[in-house]
Structures are given as structure tokens and as C-alpha cells.
Structure 1
Amino acid sequence: MGGMAAVAEINHFEYGWITPALSYTLSVLGSALGLVCAGRIRTAQTPGARAWWGLLAAWAIGGTAIWAMHFMAMLGFAVAGTRIRYDVPLTAASTVIAVVAVGIGLAIVGTGRLAAPRLLAGGVFTGAGVAAMHYTGMAAMRLDGSLSYDRLRVALSVLIAVVAATVALWLAMTVRRGLAIAASALVMGIAVNGMHFTGMSALSVHPHERTGEVTGAEVSGLLVPIVLAVVFGVVGLVYALLAAPTDDDRAGTAYLDARRDTEPVGAVTPEPAPDPVGLRARSTLGQPGTPFPSRRSTPPR
């Protein structure tokens, strides 16, 4: 037709509602875990502990809520007349981009007082990183055709990514617990999926004549290691959150230490206050050599 290249038919939902439902579930799960981990950054007692929780939050949001969601949604992506394979190094690089972008964004907004310029800078950097992850993942596709993008929709997807990242960072620094975290995770899931499918709607595929076998890894070959990475990552995050001390643990430890410090010195060596549930050991888990300062000089009567 007048020298215009043909455009292949694209199906974003080859398996129906299953892939978008799973991708949304992953984005909500990762967002919820990331928000909880980010909350621990604010209460961490040492720089090392803050860095640890920042890393976990970056993995939860960048690795699970964003990248794993992207890959799950891509399972439902199909192009008529060609098989799709993936370049493994580029696919791995897209994972690193997502985690690093979120980690740096959290570092920008998490150091010092939260202010609008700091939040905007973190949101722009993280949003640009999320967009870079998406289009790097798209560049990793190998098929019998060339890709082209509608510039307006690409710009819209980047804008959505920046806005979503800014809101996510603000929530990470302000939301604390319960229903607020759940509601925020649901909203973040919508934003992440919105950015992905907006970017996908900008894509056109122009088929080529078959010149040989398409190189790269098939989706089936990547699915098992990615699913295992997500499962072990989520289990690790949950374990880290359950094993870490809570404010109640620290308060209990402070009370036990206060009792010990105020007991009359009548014996040769005063025994430590009872600790039947291991509060003292739990309160220092992951923070060796960092005692929690007691705010009480005397035990409650």
C-alpha cells in the first residue's frame, strides 16, 4: 500500500483475563510488601539497618510490583505469524534497572526531611527508570519483525510512570500500617499496570520475511526461573518482616532493661529481669550491638 510497511496483528490478552489478573496481583503484592519495608526504614536504628530495609523495599517494588508484573503481562502478548523469544542478558538488565531505580528513588526521599523538591526529584528519577525498564524489556524481544512506537503514547506512558513513582515514594514515606497500606497497594497496582499497557498500546510490529530461526530464550524457558525467583523473593521478604523487631518488642525490651537497672543491689550479682518470650534477643535481631534506648528511668508501678 503505497510503500507503507504492513503491520502485524497484536494480541495483548492471548490467554484472556488470566495474565492481567496475575500481573495486577503481583503488582499489589509487591507494592504492599514494599510499603511495609519502607516503613521499617523510618524506624531503623542504624544506617546499616536503613540500607537493608531500603534494599528489601526496592526489591519488593522494583523486582516484584514492577518487573515481575511486566513479565507476567508479557505472557499474554502475541504477534500473529511469529514466535516471540527473549534476549536473556537484556531481560536480566531490565530487572536490575527496575530495582536500582526504585532503590535510588527511596534513597533520595528517605534521606532528610521529606519535601516537595526531594519528592519530585525521586519521582522523576524512579519514573524514568521504570520506563527504561519497560522499553528495555521490550527491546529484549526477538521475533520476525521490527518494532515501532507511537511517540505520543510513549510520552504518555513515561508521564504515567513518573506520576506513579512519585505517588509510590510519597506513600512509602507516609503510609504506616493496616488498611492504608492495603488501599495504597491497590492504587499502586492500578498505576503500574496502567503504565505497562499504555506503553504496550504504543507498539506496532512490522513483519519481515522469514530469514531463519528466531534466536533467544522461549517464554517457557524463562518462566520457571522467574517464578522461582519471585516466590523465594516474596518468602524472604515475609520472613524478614516477621523476624524483625516491632515497636512492641522494643518497648518490652526497654521495660525489661529498666527493671534490671532499678533492682536493689543486695545480692552479689543481680540477675537480669525475666525474659520469657525472648524479647531482648528479638529486639536486636539484624542490629548487632545496637541497644534500644529506654525512655523510662523507672519501671511502671
Structure 2
Amino acid sequence: MVDLLAATGAETFGRGTGIAWLALDMSALGALVAFACVRHAKYSARFRLVWLTMAAVSLGGVGLWLANSVALLGIRVEDSIMRYNVALGAASLAIAVVGVLAGLLIGGRTPQLPRLIVGGLTTGLSVGLSTYLTLDALEVQGQVEESLGLIGIAVLLSMALCTATLWASQVVRIVALRVVASLLFALGVAAVYYTAVASLEFTLDPGSRTPTGLQLFDLVYPMFVIGALGLTVPITAVLVAPDRRDAVRAPEPQRQPVGTR
């Protein structure tokens, strides 16, 4: 007779807190690069979509999805082999990037409350769904269940976080304040993630077959390298792009009437 273990939660920091700090750093760095890209998009007409796409990849792909995936490396479940469903992981990445891009497009160039709310809710729902799918991609020897109440709280936190982040991306100009906003975003992402992790319960069956999918490290490590290298593209673009703010704000020179000196 197979011995089924009682439902148990995961050890969130089963491999130490260093992984959690690394995830926090990745989240803050992705947000900081995204804020700079959004700032350039505000004053660019021709390449606005390009800037916003780089912002969405930095914020949704690195600041959210990659940070959450790195944090997953710290989870340990006793007496069970863990695997990761690549299809669900890819879906969560796509939803995070597309959702952030949609929110940025809806939010517009300047703060307008109706657009800000709609954009924030759109992004927040996408981020909440992405976080849920990231955790749902975990497979163990047994079953994984989620508490819908805690998942709902995580989604609400996500919507509040994304609305505040969208507002900050529109109004924060000083670099030092962008750094502060990036750190607050990283803390918010961590709050959403760990709230969702707290909802997980594992009913283990050590005698069952090994779950399909990849070992988590085999997926996260190459994605971490790709994400870190990928950030060099928007960072380089931000550094070499001309600052259009002065050109936008400067009044056009007045033309003198013909025949006058």
C-alpha cells in the first residue's frame, strides 16, 4: 500500500535566502531599465513602440517573470522530486510581457486617471495570472493545490502594484527617485510572489512516477543568462539615445515677416 504523506507546504527558503536576494535584485534592475525606456518613449514619436516593447520585456520579462523563476529555485519539498512544466512557464512569460506592454499603451504618455486605472488593472491581472502559471508549472510526486483566497489576495496586490508602477513611470523624472521606485517595485513583486507561494499545498506520494518536465535549474540558469545579456540592449539604447526632452519643450523660433529686419 502506497504511503501518502499529509498535505504540506513548501519550504520557501529551503536553500537559503541568497536566492531570494538575487531575485529581488533582478526585479529592481528590470524595473529601473524599464522606467528609463518609458521615459524615452514619452518624448519619441517614431520609436515609441520600440521603447515600450523594450520596457515591457525589461519589466515583465526580467523584473517579474525571471525574478519569480529565480525565486522558485529556493523552494524545497521534502521527499519529492520537483520538475517544471516548460509550456506553462513559456505561457506565463508571454502573458507577463504582453500584459505590461498593453498596460503601458493604455496608460498613455501623461497621467490620466481613467487610462491609468484601466492600464493598471490590465497589467495587474496579467501579472497575477503570470505568477499563478509560474507556480502552477511546478510538478511533484503527488498533487499540488492552491488556496483560492490567497491567490485572490495576490492578484489584488498585483493590481495595486502595477497601477502604482504605471503612475511612477509617467511622473518620476529624477534618477534617484527612479531607483527608489524600482526597489519598491521589487518588494511589491516579492510580496505578490510569496503570497501566491503561501497558497500552495502539496499532497505527496513518494512511490509515484517521476513528474515530467525539466529540472528547474536547467531552465532558470540559461534564462537568467539570456535575461541578463538581454538587458544590455535597452541599457545601451538608453545610453546612446539622444535626450529629446529639451527639443520637445523648447519653443519654436518665431519667423519674422517678409521685408522686415
TM-score normalized with structure 1 length: 0.78
The aligned residue for residue 66 of structure 2 is 68
The aligned residue for residue 262 of structure 1 is none
Residue by residue, what CA displacement relative to the aligned partner does 1:30-88 show, whole Å, maximum 9, x if unpaired?
11111111111111032xx1100110110111011100110111000111111111111
1:39 aligns with 2:32: no
2:210 match: secondary structure: coil
* Shift, 1:24, TM fit: 0.7
* Shift, 1:297, TM fit: 6.0
1:147 match: secondary structure: strand
The aligned residue for residue 259 of structure 2 is none
TM-score normalized with structure 2 length: 0.90
Equivalent-residue separation in structure 2 for 1:8 and 1:204 (angstroms): 5
The aligned residue for residue 182 of structure 2 is 185
Query: Is the CA contact 1:14–1:77 (under 8 Å) kept in the aligned structure 2?
Result: yes
AA of the residue aligned to 1:26: M
Q: 1:179 to 1:11 in 2, by over 3 A?
A: same
The aligned residue for residue 49 of structure 2 is 51
Larger Rg: 1
The aligned residue for residue 205 of structure 1 is 202
Equivalent-residue separation in structure 2 for 1:137 and 1:186 (angstroms): 22
Equivalent-residue separation in structure 2 for 1:296 and 1:21 (angstroms): 52
1:79 match: secondary structure: coil
Identical counterparts, % of pairs: 27
AA of the residue aligned to 1:43: Y
RMSD of aligned residue pairs (Cα, Å): 2.2
Equivalent-residue separation in structure 2 for 1:104 and 1:200 (angstroms): 26
Equivalent-residue separation in structure 2 for 1:171 and 1:82 (angstroms): 43
Q: Give the number of equivalent residue pairs.
A: 252
- Structure 1 residue ranges without an equivalent (≥5): 255-292
1:176 aligns with 2:133: no
Query: Is the CA contact 1:36–1:176 (under 8 Å) kept in the aligned structure 2?
Result: no
Higher relative contact order (CA 8 A, sep 6+): 2
Residue by residue, what CA displacement relative to the aligned partner does 1:69-120 show, whole Å, maximum 9, x if unpaired?
1011100011111111111121111111100000000010016x53212111
AA of the residue aligned to 2:235: V
* Shift, 1:243, TM fit: 1.9
Describe how 1:187-266 pairs up with structure 2 within 5 A: 187-247=184-244
Equivalent-residue separation in structure 2 for 1:54 and 1:177 (angstroms): 19
The aligned residue for residue 12 of structure 2 is 12
